[in-house]
Structure 1
């Protein structure tokens, strides 16, 4: 398996340069301060008109990784609207009051959506990440889990994530390395069996969210990932 490069985009303007640079998949969000929240369905449709890549909008309406019945109804409506607008999958993740993967909410949202979908970095906020991974491995349609191995960033969670991926090939296959991914992290993750990588501000000039995704910067990540995954085989 070659490496998969996922690029977070903020709108249709980012889609074409991300694809031209070699992205394999796009995550679509809207930003509210530092929070990545659900985009408008019309933005999903606009992105679909600009790219042939798989696009996964995020399902998240507020800060944190909890939700309630009222929000679940709105999220189900968004799932339907995103599907109609051309979404290929979704990114979501919820944690209950016990600090566990909220299987009940996930089941409610995904009962008519067989997949594929990504569990968000909510996994890094679970009280027991070992228990969380045991649950995630059994969820239908799940093909990726975004994680830094830490609730902070890969700088702090890299060693734990490398150990977890090295110990279990099934986990390694699900991991999408995220959380301020740095080029120096990629060789270690690739050797551990990780094949999916997520970038965000790294592909914007100066790391500025006011700048559009840059084809050349995406391309540099494409080449790095391909090189390190090939060497790790």
Structure 2
């Protein structure tokens, strides 16, 4: 068994954040609008959550559904929003932009990352929709602050992506593969043993932390069950 696993939970508000921390989450991903797969929350929401919990927060930088940055104007908006979020106390982020051909939108990513000024960040599941995962990783390898890929290994989820995840974790040490693999997207508790055995030690849950699905809040007990399984109890 590798080191203690990181458990990241999606939080929409202070109630979610408090319950997730109480259940044993190590980190929160802050978003709004899960109907659009998670967009940037307001600076006020981020500030409120920052005041309510003391675990790490990663804030989504995504202003519209899909994985396009929205051209130069969209990138400018993202830079402006990133500044507002940093003023609200955010110091870790989540982002990822693709072009129309499924390649990484390097220009948009670089502009936003420059505004983060060294903050740690996750490249999210846009990697699962990239035309070439390996090329994307190598193109981003030298960007400051990039320490994590949120991925299911496949756009269809962990069931299909498991072999890809296992293969990628074995490439640690190669250019583009030093970042943590944070597994999320159709992740279930029964996936955990195989992923832990492969050496994966970071896990991301959203709906799985909510007994009523996205219509209800994060449930402390549901998070605690994940913590128990990840800790091998």
**One fold, TM greater than 0.5?**
yes
Change (3 A) 1:222 1:42: same
Post-superposition offset of 1:191: 1.6
Which of 211, 215, 221 is matched with 2:226 structurally? 221
| Paired residues of 1:95 and 1:101 also in contact (CA < 8 A) | yes
Q: Where does the alignment leave 5 or more consecutive residues of structure 2 unmatched?
A: none
| Paired residues of 2:148 and 2:182 also in contact (CA < 8 A) | yes
Post-superposition offset of 1:96: 1.6
Quick check: 1:175 aligned with 2:175?
no
SS in 2 for 1:209: helix
The CA deviation string for residues 190-218 of structure 1, in whole angstroms up to 9 with x for no partner, is 12221110000101113x11211111111
Q: Which runs of 4+ in 1 moved over 2 A?
A: 32-35, 135-139, 166-173
Quick check: 1:93 aligned with 2:89?
no
Which of 116, 123, 127 is matched with 2:127 structurally? 123
Length-normalised TM-score, structure 2: 0.92
Length-normalised TM-score, structure 1: 0.92
| Paired residues of 1:203 and 1:218 also in contact (CA < 8 A) | yes
RMSD, aligned α-carbons: 1.6
The CA deviation string for residues 106-152 of structure 1, in whole angstroms up to 9 with x for no partner, is 11111132120000100011101121122233322111110011011
Post-superposition offset of 1:169: 5.4
Q: Where does the alignment leave 5 or more consecutive residues of structure 1 unmatched?
A: 229-233
